[in-house]
């Protein structure tokens, strides 16, 4: 049988490797009570209102979902002060990153992204035979000046992950204002704000303000993090009507399932739950930062629900040792930092368990 020739661009793509699932660790190592602190998931889970909405809707899952997501877009428009035509829904924000590439990138076009940052930007470019241009972070923050200097006539899209994954750092309102003043209007600036609800820094860039001014930007957000709906896969993009129309042109008609839509609508209403998640994150952030300082480990102050910390040893070796203690973390080598790990901020008990396991492993490796 003759093998179908694959597209040449596949040779340059490294498939995304997600955080190791709890079930896989339990199955492989014969463990129980495994703690996953690798994928920045919500330790409190979803809102009870979201769970009720799912239960109430179960009898209707024989029907196709609303391909337009009318009621969810209506709820988001009210929540954000935007028009429904400024919103596109995605099967997670990840799908929207892919759709951006499908809608706008031709072979040879360039995107610009920070290094380190979220790998899906690179993936979406390579998938379309486009070229990812990586600009090193400066002090673990986006170097907007260097990003602006990297623009060429081939630049189509610039990605700004804010807060940045994996560093947890932000770019400020003032920095973004100056940056956008330099931008050619034909370049789409994508602000990936998956973690924006966790930000406490008052200087954080208010991207919706720039959108309302008519600038050529796309804002990506998700229900996977603070809303605790990662397993349902629902994200959304905010942009001018023409950008939304372009993305809808290449979007699958039923990309966000019915349960995700009703759960997301309900989650938006539960302000008490959102504040509870923020409170747990603030306390956990303070605890872990203090513990890293006590242990003499360099870590980057974070505005997200994870911390990037230098452990001083091979992160892959440490990862395997931590697994045997029932704690899953994210190795830094995938971001180009082999002696760092990224750890999700969790509940008090899980944070303490992580620190205990980390100390024991580092002593063994010393």
Q: Which residue range is the domain that position 116 belongs to?
A: 48-269
76: buried, middle or exposed (CB in 10 Å: 19+, 13-18, 0-12)? buried
CA distance 141 to 132: 18
Measured in residues, the chain has a length of 366
More confident residue, 102 or 7: 102
Phi, psi of 138 (to 5 degrees): -115, 115
Percent of the chain residues past pLDDT 90, beyond the cut: 91
Tell whether 201 and 157 lie within a shared domain: yes
The residue out of 250, 269, 288 marking a domain boundary is: 269
The residue out of 225, 249, 269 marking a domain boundary is: 269
For residue 10, is it within any domain? no
Q: Report, as an integer, the average pLDDT of 79-99.
A: 97
In the predicted structure, residue 345 carries a pLDDT above the cut 70: yes
CA distance 322 to 328: 7
Q: Give the tens place of pLDDT for each residue, 253-280.
A: 999 999 999 999 999 999 999 999 999 9
Residue 318: Cβ within 10 Å count: 23
The residue out of 238, 269, 300 marking a domain boundary is: 269
Nearest to 197 by CA among 240, 227, 232, 236: 227
Task: Give the CATH number for residue 161.
Answer: 3.40.640.10
Residue 1 is predicted with a pLDDT of: 65
Tell whether 57 and 168 lie within a shared domain: yes
Q: Give the tens place of pLDDT for each residue, 115-132.
A: 999 999 999 999 999 999
CA distance 353 to 350: 5
Tokens, residue 163: 């807060």
Measured in whole angstroms, the distance separating CA 281 from the mean position of its chain's CA atoms is 16
Tell whether 338 and 253 lie within a shared domain: no
Q: How many CA atoms lie within 13 A of 112 on its CB side?
A: 24
Q: Report, as an integer, the average pLDDT of 144-156.
A: 98
The domain total for the chain is 2
For residue 358, is it within any domain? yes
Tokens, residue 37: 């602190």
For residue 175, is it within any domain? yes
Mean pLDDT of the chain: 96
Task: Give the CATH number for residue 318.
Answer: 3.90.1150.10
- 220 within 8 A of 190, measured Cβ to Cβ: yes
Q: Give the tens place of pLDDT for each residue, 206-253.
A: 999 999 999 999 999 999 999 999 999 999 999 999 999 999 999 999
């Amino acid at each position: 049988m003759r093998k179908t020739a694959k597209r040449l661009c596949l040779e340059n793509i490294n498939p995304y490797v997600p955080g190791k699932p709890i079930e896989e660790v339990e199955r492989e190592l014969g463990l129980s009570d495994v703690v996953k602190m690798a994928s920045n998931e919500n330790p409190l889970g979803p809102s009870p209102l979201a769970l009720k909405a799912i239960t109430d809707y179960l009898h209707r899952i024989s029907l196709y979902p609303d391909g337009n997501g009318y009621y969810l877009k209506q709820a988001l428009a009210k929540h954000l002060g935007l028009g429904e035509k400024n919103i596109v829904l995605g099967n997670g924000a990840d799908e929207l990153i892919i759709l951006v590439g499908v809608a706008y990138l031709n072979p040879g076009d360039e995107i610009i992204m920070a290094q380190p940052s979220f790998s899906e930007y690179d993936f979406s470019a390579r998938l379309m035979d486009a070229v990812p241009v990586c600009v090193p972070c400066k002090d673990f923050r986006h170097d907007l000046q260097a990003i602006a200097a990297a623009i060429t006539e081939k630049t189509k899209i610039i990605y700004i992950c804010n807060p940045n994954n994996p560093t947890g750092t932000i770019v400020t309102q003032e920095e973004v204002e100056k940056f956008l003043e330099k931008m050619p209007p034909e370049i789409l600036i994508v602000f990936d704000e998956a973690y924006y609800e966790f930000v406490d820094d008052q200087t954080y860039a208010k991207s919706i303000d720039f959108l309302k001014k008519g600038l050529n930007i796309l804002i990506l957000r998700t229900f996977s993090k603070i809303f605790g709906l990662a397993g349902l896969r629902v994200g959304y993009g905010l942009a001018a009507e023409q950008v939304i129309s372009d993305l809808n042109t290449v979007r699958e008609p039923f990309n966000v399932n019915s349960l995700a839509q009703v759960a997301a609508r309900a989650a938006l209403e539960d302000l008490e739950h959102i504040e509870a998640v923020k409170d747990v994150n603030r306390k956990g952030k303070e605890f872990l930062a203090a513990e890293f300082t006590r242990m003499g480990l360099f870590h980057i102050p974070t505005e997200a629900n994870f911390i990037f910390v230098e452990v001083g040893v091979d992160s892959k070796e440490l990862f395997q040792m931590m697994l045997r203690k029932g704690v899953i973390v994210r190795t830094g080598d995938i971001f180009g930092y082999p002696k760092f790990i990224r750890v999700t901020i969790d509940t008090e008990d899980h944070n303490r368990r992580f620190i205990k396991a980390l100390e024991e492993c580092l002593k063994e490796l010393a």
